[in-house]
Amino acid sequence: MKLSTTILLLLLFSILNNLNAQESKDYIEFNDRRNMVHGVYLGLNLNYGEIDKAESFSSAFKVAYVANQQFEVGFIAVGFYGDLNRVGLDGNSKDIGGFYAGLHLEPILFSKSKVNLSFPLLIGGGAAALIEDNTEEEVVLEDDDWEHLFVAEPGVNVLYNINRYIQIEAGIKYRLTSKLDFDPEYNIKRINGFSGGIGLKVGVFNMGRNRYKKKLKNDN
C-alpha cells in the first residue's frame, strides 16, 4: 500500500512538473515574438526644381503615422512659387504660385538600418495662379485668378536616422498635374516638373518597443 502510494505521488509530481515546464516555455515563446513598432512625426521639406522649364521653389509640411518603421501614411501640404521669365514675351511680369495638399504614402526599405530608402507618393489637389511681380502694390488675387488642379507626385528618398526622435531625408520627385486654363499668352498647360530637396522629421519613430525582449534574452 505504501509502495503504491509512493509511486502514485511520484507520478503526480512528474506530471505537474511537466505541465509547469510547458507553461513556462509557452510564456517565453509568446513574449519573445516581434511586436509591431509604431511611430508619429512632424516633417518640414524645402525643395528646388522647375515649373514649365522655369526655376521654382517649394516647401512642404507633413504629419504622418509610421507602421513598424516600414510604411508611412499621413497628410502633406505644399506651397510653391515659380519665376517664369518667359523669353520672347514683351512686358512679361508674371510668376506662378499656389498650393496643394493630400494623402502621403511612403513605403520604406532597409528600415532596421541607419540609412533607409523610401518611395514617397503624394495624391491630392490644390490651386495655382499667375501673379504680377513687377509692381510695388500689394497683389490681390480674386477667385477667378485661381485654377484648380489635381496632383500626383511620386519620388525617391534616402533617409538617415540620427536617433530615435530625429530623421533627415533627401531626395527627388516628379510632379504630375491636371491641365490648367491660363491666359494663352503664357501657354502653361500643366505645372509638371522635377524637384529635389532636403527635409527634417521630428517625432517618435519606434513607440511600442517590446520591453520584454531584452529581459528574456538575458534569461536565456
Q: Does residue 218 lie in a domain region?
A: no
**% of the chain with per-residue pLDDT over 90:** 46
Nearest to residue 54, comparing CAs of 32, 28, 80, 73? 80
Q: Average pLDDT of 134-157?
A: 79
Does residue 4 have a pLDDT over 60? no
pLDDT digits (tens, 9 = 90+) for 55-87: 899 999 999 999 988 999 999 999 999 887 654
Check whether residue 65 and residue 138 sit in a common domain.
yes
> Hey, is 7 helix, strand or coil?
helix
In this structure, are 126 and 25 located in the same domain? no
Q: Is residue 184 part of a domain?
A: yes
User: For residue 96, what are the CA distances in angstroms to 31, 86, 130, 183?
Assistant: 57, 11, 5, 12
> pLDDT tens for residues 102-129?
999 999 999 888 999 999 999 999 999 8
Neighbours of 98 (CB within 10 A): 25
pLDDT surpassing 60 at residue 161:
yes
Do residues 99 and 178 share a domain? yes
Count up the domains in the chain and report the number: 2
User: 83 and 103: one domain?
Assistant: yes
Domain that holds residue 155: 38-207
Are the C-beta atoms of residues 111 and 103 closer than 8 Å to each other?
A: no
pTM, rounded to two decimals: 0.74
Q: Tell me, what's the pLDDT at 132?
A: 76
On whether both 17 and 70 belong to a single domain, the answer is no
Contacts of 126 (CB under 8 A, 6+ apart): 78, 98, 99, 100, 101, 148, 149, 151
Assess if residue 180 is contained within a domain. yes
Distance CA 42, CA 78 (A): 14
Note the pLDDT of residue 49. Answer: 94
> Do 17 and 65 sit in the same domain of this protein?
no
